[in-house]
A = this chain, B = another copy of it.
Amino acid sequence: MNEQSLLDLLLSRDDYISGEELSKRLSISRTAVWKQINKLREQGYQFEAVSRRGYKLTYKPDRLHESLLLKALANVPLVKHVKLFGSIHSTQIEAQRLAEQGAPEGTLVIAEEQTAGKGRLGRKWHSPAGKGIWMSFVLRPLIALPYAPQLTLMMAVAVCRAIRSLTKLDVGIKWPNDLLINGRKISGILIESATEDERIRYCIVGIGIDANLDEEDYPEELRSVATSLKVESGQPIDRAELIGAVMKETESLYELYQQEGFAPIASLWEALSITLHQPVRIQAATDLIEGTAIGLHPSGALIVEDANGVRHTIFSADVQLSRC
């Protein structure tokens, strides 16, 4: 608790703050202040310490700090518990493990690094340390199974809006839930659900956002298809702040969805979509469908009209935008 307040005080001040003031405001001894400063130094924070003037924070490591996370999530009641890991195999698997043990809706697992990050279709998700947002959380929606794909679209809207609120970047949604900037992927969302007959037991929402990766952080094969917020905007983003924004958007949309159903979510999705009204090629389970994406089915499926005017309802597929 004191550690959080010490960091808060230092962060709130551009100038020096004296050991005496820190000691008074935190109601702890000067020795305790000094110990906490050292603890922060061990975590990568850097200070100038000048006698008679005090301490000044000169470098804040790009590291998710629990106190900063909790601050960023303070106004998001949806988030009940936060578990922060330095390195983990997969936040998705950890969140699933917690859900099976009964973890409540809003349990959030965040990692600095994933050693076996999960993407869609069994693919790996490149998750280098300290550079991105790799997180998974538990939802327990009281909706019937056929509506589950709507949550996938809802999450795409939430992440897209959060990124747009903190950057000026023109992020769009490729159906169902990839986020692209200039045709390159900036974020992936994966929702895994455990169901019992028509009932959803829980969903694990996995979100990967390439926040502060540099060009050289990408393996060769990803450079043409992936990009990061830092690469696109030219400056790093505060990851804790972005996590807070994503979860706040999620909470708002989830409330909206529970109160008003899917229609308002669909409108928001359509406004951010780069798939609608575009020619698309869709490799479905058995067919290759070429046509124009003309809208969302109320279930969340994509409606594609082919050259013969036949409309296809696509629930799940790999969609290629033909212009790409």
Residues of A at the B interface (CB closer than 8 Å) are: 120-121, 142, 144-149, 152, 176-177, 190-199, 285, 299, 301, 315-316
Residues of B within 8 A of A316 (CB): 144-145, 197-199
Q: Separation in Å of the A117 CB from the closest CB of chain B?
A: 14
Q: Are B145 and A148 in contact (CB under 8 A)?
A: yes
Q: Give min CB distance, A70 to chain B, whole Å.
A: 30
A195–B197 CB distance below 8 A: no
The chain B residue sitting closest to A148, CB to CB, is B145
Alpha-carbon distance A195/B148, docked complex (angstroms): 10
Contact indicator A146/B315 (Cβ below 8 Å): yes
The answer on a CB contact under 8 Å between A149 and B146 is: yes
Q: Chain A interface mostly helix, strand, loop or mixed?
A: mixed
* CB of A191 to closest CB in B, whole Å: 6
Compute how far the CA of A195 lies from the CA of B316 in the bound complex, rounded to whole angstroms. Answer: 12
The answer for the CA separation of A49 and B193 in the assembled complex, in Å, is 58
Question: Quick check: B149 and A176 within 8 Å, CB to CB?
Answer: no
Query: How far apart sit A147 and B148, CA to CA, in the bound complex (Å)?
Result: 11
Would B142 and A145 count as touching, CB distance under 8 A? no
Q: Which residues of B sit under 8 angstroms from A315, Cβ to Cβ?
A: 144-147, 198
List residues of chain B with CB within 8 A of the CB of A301: 144, 146
**Best-buried of A142, A146, A195, A197 by chain B (most CB within 10 Å):** A197
What separation, in Å, do the CA atoms of A190 and B199 have in the docked complex?
A: 11
B residues less than 8 Å from A199 (CB atoms): 121, 316
Which B residues lie within 8 Å of A147 (CB)? 315
On whether the beta carbons of B152 and A197 are closer than 8 Å, the reply is yes
| A152, B196: Cβ atoms closer than 8 Å | no
Q: State which of B152, B192, B193, B196 has its C-beta within 8 Å of the C-beta of A120.
A: B196
